[in-house]
């Protein structure tokens, strides 16, 4: 692989643009040489200051000789086609979450990668790169709080895009906790329930908030509050209860203001603020693995598939109110 990694980006929306900014201004040794978006105006606007080529569609970008590796940042329903094309072209691909929107689509990606014989895919589950989540895991793994019993999580968005349907609260939002929990506890989720409290007056047509209850194979129970219209900011919480103590994420704000008898501090506006450094580390490590010619070090197709299996079950639980059991296929050897 060349010393400068030449990346093509498909999808120049919010996260596509944010990733292009970090690839070109924060991280060294990476050029964004190609951009594609179904909105040709957006693609041209983003590509121009980079001197990047605008391709008529994502498939043309993947096929281009000048593109060493691909970033897929378009909507979830489009990921499968692009990831499969990148695998067919033998090019490393970083795909924003979710890997694909159904279990079946993820399995097709896993099958293609297994047939190719080498891991090429990384999925954008950036919480695994967040300093606070990493510190939480370090304490858990050290044994200092004893054996884990439960975890309480909250995932609150100030608001979400207009395209959100009820299932997006699971497939686009709760999917982060689904992946984080598998990584944090090193155990699969075996069943899921979704409880629906009174609907928020800010909810629009969404079932909001929701409470997910995830049962893990090691008997740890995790509850996840999903609120996608809290208005006040982006608020990510987590606390693990162990037999001998607890460990929790603290307010990530850098300052606290004490004034006139009150204590106040900033709440991040959205995921770009809260996870900025995690995305930087995630893409640095991904680019280094590609430049080094090795498999991606981060979550791969199998993790994307495992998260989608739980998402599918949670969407069913949301619709029916049932406790839905989760079964994962046998893990192919290239993911062990």
Ligand X SMILES: NC(=O)C1=CN([C@@H]2O[C@H](COP(=O)(O)OP(=O)(O)OC[C@H]3O[C@@H](n4cnc5c(N)ncnc54)[C@H](O)[C@@H]3O)[C@@H](O)[C@H]2O)C=CC1
Binding site for ligand X (CB under 6 A): 10-16, 36-39, 42, 58, 73-76, 78, 96-97, 124, 126, 172, 271
- As measured in angstroms, the least distance from the Cβ of 307 to ligand ISE is 12
Among the candidate windows 169-177, 191-199, 251-259, 295-303, which touches ligand ISE by CB under 6 A? 169-177
Burial class (CB in 10 A: 0-12, 13-18, 19+), 140: buried
Q: Where are the beta strands (DSSP E) in 234-328?
A: 235-242, 246-248, 257-259, 262-264, 324-325
In the complex with ligand ISE, which residue's Cβ is closer, 174 or 214?
A: 174
- Output the residue with the shortest Cβ distance to ligand ISE: 173
- Please name which of 307, 284, 326, 322 lies closest in space to residue 99, comparing C-alpha atoms: 307
User: How many CB atoms neighbour CB 193 within 10 A?
Assistant: 18
Q: Which residues pair with 8 in a beta bridge?
A: 34, 70
Please identify which residue in 74, 101, 102, 173 interacts with ligand ISE, judged by CB under 6 A: 173
Q: Does 301 bind ligand ISE (CB under 6 A)?
A: no
Please identify which residue in 176, 182, 193, 284 interacts with ligand ISE, judged by CB under 6 A: 176
- As measured in angstroms, the least distance from the Cβ of 82 to ligand X is 7
Q: Which does 75 bind (CB under 5 to 8 A by kind): ligand ISE, ligand X, none?
A: ligand X
Please identify which residue in 74, 102, 122, 157 interacts with ligand ISE, judged by CB under 6 A: 157
- Binding stretches for ligand ISE (CB under 6 A): 157, 160, 172-173, 176, 271
């Amino acid at each position: 692989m060349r010393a400068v990694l030449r990346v093509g980006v498909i999808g120049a929306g919010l996260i596509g643009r944010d990733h292009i900014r970090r690839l070109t201004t924060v991280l060294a040794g990476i050029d964004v040489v190609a951009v594609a978006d179904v909105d040709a105006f957006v693609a041209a606007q983003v590509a121009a200051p980079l001197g990047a080529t605008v391709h008529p569609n994502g498939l043309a970008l993947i096929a281009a000789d000048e593109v060493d590796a691909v970033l897929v940042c378009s909507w979830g329903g489009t990921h499968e086609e692009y990831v499969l094309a990148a695998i067919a072209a033998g090019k490393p691909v970083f795909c924003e979450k979710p890997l694909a929107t159904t279990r079946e689509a993820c399995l097709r990606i896993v099958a293609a990668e297994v047939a190719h014989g080498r891991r090429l895919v990384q999925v954008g589950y950036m919480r695994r790169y967040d300093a606070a989540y990493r510190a939480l895991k370090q304490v858990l793994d050290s044994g200092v709080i004893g054996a884990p019993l439960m975890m309480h999580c909250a995932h609150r968005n100030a608001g979400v895009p207009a395209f959100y349907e009820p299932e997006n609260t699971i497939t686009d939002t709760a999917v982060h906790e689904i992946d984080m929990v598998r990584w944090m506890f090193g155990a699969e989720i075996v069943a899921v329930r979704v409880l629906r409290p009174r609907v928020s007056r800010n909810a629009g047509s969404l079932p909001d908030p929701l409470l997910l209850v995830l049962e893990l194979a090691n008997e740890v129970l995790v509850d996840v509050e999903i609120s996608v219209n809290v208005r006040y900011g982006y608020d990510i919480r987590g606390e693990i209860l162990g037999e001998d103590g607890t460990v929790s994420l603290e307010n990530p704000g850098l300052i606290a203001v004490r004034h006139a008898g009150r204590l106040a501090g900033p709440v991040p506006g959205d995921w770009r603020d809260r996870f900025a450094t995690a995305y930087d580390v995630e893409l640095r490590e991904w680019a280094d693995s590609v430049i080094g010619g090795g498999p991606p070090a981060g979550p791969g197709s199998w993790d994307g598939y495992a998260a989608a299996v739980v998402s599918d079950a949670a969407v069913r639980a949301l619709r029916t109110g049932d406790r839905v059991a989760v079964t994962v296929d046998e893990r192919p050897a290239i993911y062990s």
